[in-house]
Structure 1
Amino acid sequence: MAVALVTGATQGLGLALAHGLARRLGPSGTVYLTGRDANRVAASAEAASRGGVEVRGALFDVADPGAARELAEQIAERHGGIDVVIGNAVMRIGPDDDPRTVIGEYVQVNNHGTTRLLRAFAPLLNDGGKLLVVASSLGTLHHLAPVLHRRFTDPSTLDELDEQVARWRDEVEDRRTGAWPGFVNIPSKIGQIAAVRILAAQRRDADRERGILIAAVCPGMINTPTSALWWDVSTAPTPDQAATAVLDLALNPAEPRHYGELVRHGEVVPFS
């Protein structure tokens, strides 16, 4: 019986991924649909359960420092391990938000939430398991001034990366932005992909033997209300359409070339 988990799964792409996993896994699967609003989690899980698969709603706030570990322990106790983890939780910001006032929570959710998810769930992966972080092609180094590249390439542990991301957060709060781009989504996404690369470097040999895939995934532009604040998304795919490539990566046999990389529609997007 396959066990899967999606974070940030009560709307948009996350909800589409949870529904897609439920359809593809069928009655023998269990999908954990997670979010931080109890009513929305319950309603979303009930809707996703109509296909016969067991969809369990679980409260999970990735900004809570202990939440990932606690949920991982619960799943380990119930199932022994997990087959698919998709980290999709994200704090969304709009063009009118002041980066200085939102950067603290933004980093706590998007970046520290990602590294906590990786630490908690990588040890639970079953043979053939997939651990995916939804990111973006904006998270590649060519979007960042070269003087800042080593902030994300030098760290060799997740703790070291967390320190660098916290340093960036503090610089934004203190207006010491220097060469940093004004669009905080860029360094944040780079940090997410760097986290995947660091974890993959530590686990590569053992994961290869077990058929495990750890990767970041870019779903591309999606027609959502949040994206519409920034770009014209009128012709972009819907969340259900965008979920297809992510689900393929999560459920098809792992390809070695994808390991530790950012993958978009089955192709590797170079980090640098």
Structure 2
Amino acid sequence: MNDPRIALVTGANQGLGRALVEGLAARMAPDDLVLLTGRDARRVSDAAREVVRSPGTRSRVEGRVLDVADTGAVTGLADELRERHGGVDVVISNAIAPNLPDRSQAEQADEFIDVANAATHTILRSYGPILRPGGRLIVVASSLGTLGHLDPRLHHLFDGASLDQVEQAVESWRDAIHAGTLDEAGWPRWLNVPSKVAQVAAVRAVAAERRERDLATGTLIAAVCPGMVDTRASRPWFSEYGHAQTPAQAARAVLDLVLGEGADPALYGELVRFGKPLPWYGGTPPTEQDRIVIP
């Protein structure tokens, strides 16, 4: 008999994260456990209770308070899962910090980077080693995460970089924000572009080290682009969202990737959108007029 599977979703009390938990809970087995995490205790508790009571829920669901910007909390939960369950089977890194168009990007930079990038690095380092054979470690990014969206002067910072080097590049970017030297180095002013490229580069770095043994065991590490999603975080950035997906719709392709059999070598370590890899070197640097939510 197989051991129950353990799944963890960050930023899961609302939006896409909540939909991913609901989908996992509906499609995993009754003995499996899905951890719904977020940093607000009341919201986490309420969301977990609602998912548990949903008629479509099959597996066990528990709410856990987790601030992904707290490195100790992230590593502590990983230690707990290793000790209690021998590891984890599904990790979906989905948490984001607000990025609002009516505030300066520099003013929002530290929280945004801490949640989207520093936390991604911690999750990859903490949960990669305890990912069981056949497991999934997925980072939610966007199509902005391809290298071509950055000025060519910056490509060397991320192309073929190790995780340590990606981390150094992110901190260099952060320093440029606070020093007011973005333009000189070629960094875009919009936070989403370097952040997403760095997320995908971090995934690629970890995947490059593990590829052979992971593919041999059907284990998948990848970044995903869920497409344009109508959420509280995305609405401020575009005025017409009639064609955006609901969180439940956006979650389907991600869950198909997470719950599919085996690991497709063409998808391993890549940025995946609707089941297909996006070219790492694709994209063009956005202009200031392009500062909208791009799927």
Map 1:189-200 onto structure 2 (within 5 A). 189-200=196-207
Match of 1:186 in 2: 193
**Alignment-mate amino acid for residue 60 of structure 2:** E
Size of the aligned set, in residue pairs, is 271
Match of 2:61 in 1: 55
Map 1:114-133 onto structure 2 (within 5 A). 114-133=120-139
- Aligned-residue sequence identity (percent) comes to 50
Match of 2:279 in 1: 270
1:52 deviation in Å? 4.2
Q: In structure 2, what is the Cα distance between the partners aligned to 1:65 and 1:224?
A: 26
**Alignment-mate amino acid for residue 252 of structure 2:** T
1:10 deviation in Å? 0.5
Q: In structure 2, what is the Cα distance between the partners aligned to 1:137 and 1:92?
A: 19
Match of 2:244 in 1: 236
1:81 deviation in Å? 1.4
Match of 2:171 in 1: 166
1:154 deviation in Å? 4.9
**Structure 1: segments with no counterpart, 5+ residues:** none
Q: Map Cα deviations across residues 67-100 of structure 1 (whole Å, 9 max, x no partner).
A: 2110001111111111111000111211112122
Map 1:1-272 onto structure 2 (within 5 A). 1-50=4-53, 51-156=57-162, 158-178=163-183, 179-231=186-238, 232-253=240-261, 254-272=263-281
Moved over 6 A (4+): none
> Would you tell me which structure has more helix in proportion to its own residues?
1
**Structure 2: segments with no counterpart, 5+ residues:** 282-295
Asked whether the equivalents of residues 101 and 173 of structure 1 are also in contact (C-alpha less than 8 Å), the reply is no
Please give the secondary structure, in 1, of the residue aligned with 2:266.
helix
TM value normalised by structure 2? 0.89
1:127 deviation in Å? 1.2
